[in-house]
A and B are shown apart, each in its own frame.
Chain A
């Protein structure tokens, strides 16, 4: 079986349609921009379109769980066992195997939640940039890109969805999100712990890994999708991130990265609109 498996070869059936990162970002219409007259897009049950917004987000969570399973599985296989720079310790592989078990369970939960909310699998497009972050040839960069950046985002998303279920009075959504949230905190903690252990004597490698994490964090802030501003659909879950090994400075940086991502997206959209209207 081959090592380092490219994203475009991931197995999907005919229900799924894949969207590239470029396609997603080159849409001149995206919401949440300065030109959006409705302004706030925070995900709360008060929004008339809240159930549909929650359905779409849940589908995004589902495909994210599939890719997280694929990514953790690759990390078990792609590297030889050992303590060298291009190897992974056996204990890390055990952690990744445990994570596979969690992600597989999350896939099952997400499928049932999608049924509950009236969403068919493949109803929305799939982006594979979660898996792409899991293809980095350095296992430490995978840990920061996936376990700390993306599983960290999962903490924010699950916490937001749990609160949504609580306020809406949806016990199924609330419980499912709460249980998955508990697992995500563990996954992020694994990333924090292994980052510290594997780079203890290699500060340059640690800095490279943290820089990769910042890049992934910015990409996944999706034009202000996740942040601490009032109109951020997904809120930064500081308390749960703290439990997972994030310090205050890191979380402040993340909030700033999200604001930068939003400003960048606004500028890009204005440029695209000007080009379309030229």
Chain B
């Protein structure tokens, strides 16, 4: 496995490329991604915004804005738990996509917002069970889920299923999301 971080030296933030690489290496093993995976992470340090996305699966390329890895208490400093939360969520999606049993989800940019949030809940639930805890992940993800699926009991039930599950397929996730949206409507 190789991990490359761009840029190697940061000027606008106090991030350490080696620390980011070590977080990635740890997550690859914990999440169960192929051990021969080559990972590249591109950090845009010109913005404090927090967008993060997978731009290629083979080789795995992750693009993040610097805010995605930042400690909200200490601007321009890296948060190890926050970085693991963001990167781990994306890497669980990659693991799902590489698993033939998961099915064939749309490309990330073709997902609806509710579908994307539902998949995130499934990913972060598994990440938390691996011990990667960043503040109150569950309530935060529940709030995201409610914003996209309605503030209803049925939306909360769908979230609970996603949060506690393992081995779901894409059609399971899409179905839970679509049903919750439909009930709210």
A joins B in a complex? yes
Closest to A50 in B: B147
**How many of A's residues come within 8 Å of B, CB to CB?**
38
Cα separation A55 to B139 with both chains bound (whole Å): 11
- A89 interface hit (Cβ, 8 Å): no
Flag if A118 contacts B147 (CB, 8 Å).
no
Residues in A neighbouring B146, C-beta threshold 8 A: 170
CB distance from B145 to the nearest CB of A (A): 9
Flag if A123 contacts B72 (CB, 8 Å).
yes
Closest to A17 in B: B73
Cα separation A52 to B145 with both chains bound (whole Å): 12
Which of B48, B137, B146, B147 is most buried by chain A, counting CB atoms within 10 A of its CB? Answer: B147
Partner of B138, one of A116, A118, A122: A118
Flag if A27 contacts B147 (CB, 8 Å).
no
- A208 interface hit (Cβ, 8 Å): no
1/0 per residue, CB under 8 A from B, across A251-278: the answer is: 0000000000000000000000100110
- A19 interface hit (Cβ, 8 Å): yes
**How many of B's residues come within 8 Å of A, CB to CB?**
33
Residues in A neighbouring B142, C-beta threshold 8 A: 118
Contact stretch, chosen from A4-12, A31-39, A69-77, A80-88: A31-39
Closest to B144 in A: A51
Cα separation A278 to B130 with both chains bound (whole Å): 43
1/0 per residue, CB under 8 A from B, across A122-136: the answer is: 111100000000000
Which of B47, B51, B138 is most buried by chain A, counting CB atoms within 10 A of its CB? Answer: B47
Closest to B138 in A: A118
Cα separation A44 to B184 with both chains bound (whole Å): 19
Partner of B143, one of A17, A36, A116: A116
Cα separation A212 to B73 with both chains bound (whole Å): 29
- B49 interface hit (Cβ, 8 Å): yes
With contacts A118-B140, A119-B135, A169-B184 taken as known, whether A29 is within 8 angstroms of B12 at the C-beta atoms is yes
- A94 interface hit (Cβ, 8 Å): no
Closest to A19 in B: B75
Closest to B50 in A: A49
Closest to A24 in B: B75
- B141 interface hit (Cβ, 8 Å): yes
Flag if B139 contacts A118 (CB, 8 Å).
yes
- A21 interface hit (Cβ, 8 Å): no
List the interface of chain A (C-beta within 8 A of B). 17, 19, 23-24, 27-31, 35-36, 38, 45, 48-52, 55-56, 115-120, 122-125, 168-172, 273, 276-277
Other than A29-B12, A118-B135, A123-B135, give 8 A-B pairs with Cβ distance below 8 A: A36-B49, A49-B49, A49-B50, A117-B140, A118-B139, A124-B72, A170-B147, A170-B151
> What are 22 A-B contacts with C-beta separation under 8 Å?
A23-B75, A24-B75, A27-B75, A28-B12, A29-B12, A29-B66, A31-B47, A36-B47, A45-B147, A48-B113, A49-B51, A50-B147, A51-B144, A52-B140, A55-B143, A118-B138, A120-B135, A122-B73, A123-B72, A123-B135, A124-B72, A125-B73
